[in-house]
Amino acid sequence: MSTVYLVGAGPGDPKLLTRRAYELITSAEIVVYDALVSPRIVELIPPTTRLYNVGKRYGAHSMKQPEINALLIELASEGASKIVRLKGGDPFVFAHGGEEMNVLREAGIRYEIVPGITAGLAAPAYFDIPVTHRAVSRSFTCLTAHSESGELPAFDWQALAKLGGTLIFYMGVRQIASISQALIEAGCSAATPAALVSRGTTPQQSLLARTLGEFTDPEEDFTAYTPALFVIGEVIRLSEGRTSRPLAGKKVIVTRARHQASSLQEALESEGAEALLLPTIELSSNEAIKAEVATHLSQLARYGWVFFTSPNAVEFFFAALHRAGLDARALSPCRIASLGPMTTAALEAQGIKPDFMPSEYHAKAFAREFVEQVSAPHDKPLLLPASALAHDDLAHLLQEAGCRCERLPLYTNSPIHYEAEELRATLASADYLTACSSSAVHHLVELLEQYQLTDLLRELPIAVLGEQTAGAVRSYGLDPQLIAPQATIPSLVGALIERLG
């Protein structure tokens, strides 16, 4: 039997999703979502899920509400067991959730309500604006400034002016001057603090704080702030003196493969930056050597050491191991070497503590220190799980030192296609570009060369993770402005804060 879940997606920050909301959107067969659901939350939905974008933004509705109601009934009749109707904020706060609940109830369709954090409370909080405060506001009132006619709703403005506390208008960007004028005429002081809170809780958030009287110009256009709340009250003064996050207002390009980008993206966004995802490669198992992989995994006891040079190598190695019906115990005859902290963290997530890690995280140091520090490194061959496109520098250096190396190209790196205008817009708007691997650099340059856009890269500061990636940047005549002191995401973000913050 089908169940339709009316789910609140919260105000935009994926970390503000409720646990129940996350469970549902990552397991639903069908998701019907509004335009106010943030792209970061939509990205959490598995690619196998059927998606319906029904819009619902003022002036650009994809579907009218009766059409959405009909769609929910139609989808439920198809027999899908789990259908999520995903809404920005809370489904019962200016989101037509009550109407959709009644439609489902009348049609005899099972439903469940999953509340979400409404923007009226969360967005001001991200600017240090509490909607209540014992000293200045003992109440808050949420209103919608939208009406079917497009005119300002016929509120009792004198009652609102006398309420005190905090007024929070949803969907009021086109009515700012009218709201301000109406409240002043009803008795509010023109000096009352007021603010437009735009895209609250997201990296694009902004605050325009003034007095109520300064918002009364009917010629002023605030549509660029959409979606936004109009907040009025003394609590706005509490935002004065707040400390901005160090990367607030900065745009940083992330070129990591999409499934890996989240750690860097989240670290940048937690410091206030807007992370622009521009993955240049897509990783997949190397299906051409399945039989060879199976042979190597069944003969791991042959190897004295297994060398892991990246988190990707760890991920694909253990995925292959599990497909073969094996687990970490299969590595017990071998010793494990890791190129750096990120690779070590990936190994430890699999329950493996490496036996060797160099003091510097690049191929030359890896080979030199391994030969110097490890006793009897030549007894058995070494296994190097890697990308099919990875450079053979480490293998060559080890072989020159007398070690026998066998590379296992577990996965392939495929380039991702972009339109020229998309690339141009992303690179031209950014403050920095980050690169965490040589392959990401090579694929990005190849992509830009196709459209003759390499000059854009020369004008953009580049931050890299480690000397090997820096070498890839230099090979194109470019100079990385920033090299993370350590080959870790926190170190890279810390260096960006020091440079930009």
Concatenating the DSSP letter of every residue in 60-125 gives --SS-HHHHHHHHHHHHHTT-SEEEEEESB-TTSSSSHHHHHHHHHHTT-EEEEE----HHHHHHH
Which residues are known catalytic residues?
34, 56, 171
- One DSSP character per residue, 368-405 reads HHHHHHSSSTTSS-EEEEEETT---HHHHHHHHTT--E
DSSP annotation of 353: -
* Residue 191 three-state SS: coil
Structure tokens at 41: 């939350």
CB burial of residue 450 (10 Å; 0-12, 13-18, 19+) = middle
Tell me the C-alpha to C-alpha distance, in Å, between residue 201 and each of 16, 40, 128.
9, 12, 12
Handedness of CA 362, 368, 370, 373 (dihedral sign): negative
Q: CA neighbours within 13 Å on the CB side: how many for 393?
A: 14
Q: How far apart are CA 115 and CA 90, in angstroms?
A: 5
DSSP per residue, 245-288: PTTTT-EEEE-S-TTTHHHHHHHHHHTT-EEEE---EEEEE-GG
Q: Which residues is 252 bridged to in the sheet?
A: 275, 432
- Residue 444 CB burial class (10 angstroms; 0-12, 13-18, ≥19): buried
**Contact criterion met (CB below 8 Å) for 408 and 383:** yes
AA letter at 464: V
